[in-house]
Homo-oligomer: A and B are copies of this chain.
């Protein structure tokens, strides 16, 4: 590959012919925010940021970049955790946050068409107000839907409802050469050639840039109940999950939480958690169309939890009560972040029957290495979030601690038949671990796919499989 073109004033002038100069940020006009994401350690500034408002603009910019061999990094709200939206090769950053319009609610086809910059919290509000439901529910509500699609975000409700890919009916994308293309549409089924739409989902901006999405909606479940179950130990809590799944009760979500993380959240939110009697909790949610239907589920789940040693059963059947618990859960990431000087994360996913082994391993790893590691996550779908904390380590110690603990955790996940990332993606930060986790042939195929979409490698270079 020949080296990328260095951006000059000439390029600025040319880009300013494509989009208004006031929507271009150039060198010193670029805010510090654009140089990193929510978690990345280093800083990488793009040379230029363009705040696009249409697919046509994206098309012209990509055609220009492709012709001139300039790398392009797409970016939504910048809430990612693996550096996917960081311009590690500089060049042009395409900021999609101004493309934040709701385009069409189609009630006959149960679809919602949106621009990529719509925030997850806006999306939830929009559909729920109208009696609909967009199931994917990642903790970070200020992420954009474009970012969610790019990482195939999962969230709390994957146990019952699946992940983002399951709710993408169609996409409008711009290819590296500027071609605007529609993939899928409003149809429910599709067996017409290779699944390009499903491939774009989760490709972290390396194959094409998303400019429109047709989302599949469900009717909003009429009733829901949350159940907070305190256990004497985390092991007992997590060991209750397989029998719950086996009981065919179909919870929407099963989260696990430990006392020390809850205390971080209390401190961060300045608000007491509704219970403090136990070291570990399961938090479950059930959705359904009648109270009886839900009751039939949680009654059997309650019995299973008690049999597994639960101390108590707290039913949150009012919105206020449920909200106070889920709000604490939603604040875990920020709460842990504010409790230390720096941190990095591991987002492995294992079969849910193996999550206890993984958590136990990480607890022991913490003891062995003396490095603080905080965990929380999705007990119901096997997706664990483990945060490794820098505290008062030197940079050298920290680098070393990260390398040791991460290496061991990813290795353990592999032996438990898991994958590198459940929902945060690979980006820049995890690509070495992805490479270690898969056969060389799979990596080679991914690189071949990348080449089929983006022969000059201008789209988000150095990410995922590059």
Footprint of B on A, CB under 8 Å?
106-110, 131, 151-154, 158-159, 162-163, 165-166, 175, 177, 179, 181, 183, 185-196, 198-199, 201-203, 207, 218-220, 242, 245-246, 248-250, 288-290, 292-293, 296-297, 347, 349-353, 378, 380-383, 417-426, 434, 437-439, 441-453, 464-465
Inter-subunit contact A448/B442 (CB<8 Å): no
Inter-subunit contact B448/A187 (CB<8 Å): no
A441–B419 alpha-carbon span in the complex (Å): 32
Give the chain B neighbours of A165 by CB distance below 8 A.
195, 198
Question: Would you give the shortest CB distance from A41 to chain B, in whole angstroms?
Answer: 21
Give the chain B neighbours of A203 by CB distance below 8 A.
194-195
Question: Which DSSP category, helix, strand, loop or mixed, fits chain A's interface?
Answer: loop
A423 touches which one: B191, B242, B290 (CB < 8 A)?
B191
| Given A195-B198, A445-B196: A381 touches B451 (CB 8 Å cut-off) | no
A165–B383 alpha-carbon span in the complex (Å): 21
Listed from nearest, the 3 A-B pairs whose CB atoms lie closest are: A448-B452, A219-B248, A188-B381
A16–B67 alpha-carbon span in the complex (Å): 54
Give the chain B neighbours of A464 by CB distance below 8 A.
193-194
Inter-subunit contact A219/B442 (CB<8 Å): no
A158 touches which one: B159, B189, B207 (CB < 8 A)?
B189
In the complex formed, the residue of B with least CB distance to A188 is: B381
Inter-subunit contact A242/B163 (CB<8 Å): no
14 contacts between A and B (CB under 8 A): A108-B352, A165-B198, A187-B418, A189-B423, A190-B421, A190-B422, A191-B421, A191-B425, A192-B434, A193-B426, A195-B201, A196-B446, A219-B248, A288-B289
A293 touches which one: B188, B293, B443 (CB < 8 A)?
B293
Inter-subunit contact A445/B452 (CB<8 Å): yes
In the complex formed, the residue of B with least CB distance to A437 is: B192
Inter-subunit contact B193/A441 (CB<8 Å): no
Most buried by B among A109, A181, A378, A424: A109
A343–B196 alpha-carbon span in the complex (Å): 31
A202–B193 alpha-carbon span in the complex (Å): 7
In the complex formed, the residue of B with least CB distance to A153 is: B191
Give the chain B neighbours of A131 by CB distance below 8 A.
248
Inter-subunit contact A188/B442 (CB<8 Å): no
Inter-subunit contact A194/B446 (CB<8 Å): yes
Give the chain B neighbours of A293 by CB distance below 8 A.
288-290, 292-293
In the complex formed, the residue of B with least CB distance to A250 is: B219
Question: Would you give the shortest CB distance from A431 to chain B, in whole angstroms?
Answer: 9
A159 touches which one: B188, B193, B220 (CB < 8 A)?
B188
Give the chain B neighbours of A296 by CB distance below 8 A.
289-290
Inter-subunit contact B196/A198 (CB<8 Å): no
A147–B246 alpha-carbon span in the complex (Å): 29
Give the chain B neighbours of A158 by CB distance below 8 A.
188-189
A297–B289 alpha-carbon span in the complex (Å): 10
Inter-subunit contact B453/A246 (CB<8 Å): no
In the complex formed, the residue of B with least CB distance to A194 is: B446
A351 touches which one: B109, B177, B207 (CB < 8 A)?
B109
Inter-subunit contact A422/B191 (CB<8 Å): yes
| Given A451-B448, A453-B448, A465-B193: A188 touches B352 (CB 8 Å cut-off) | yes
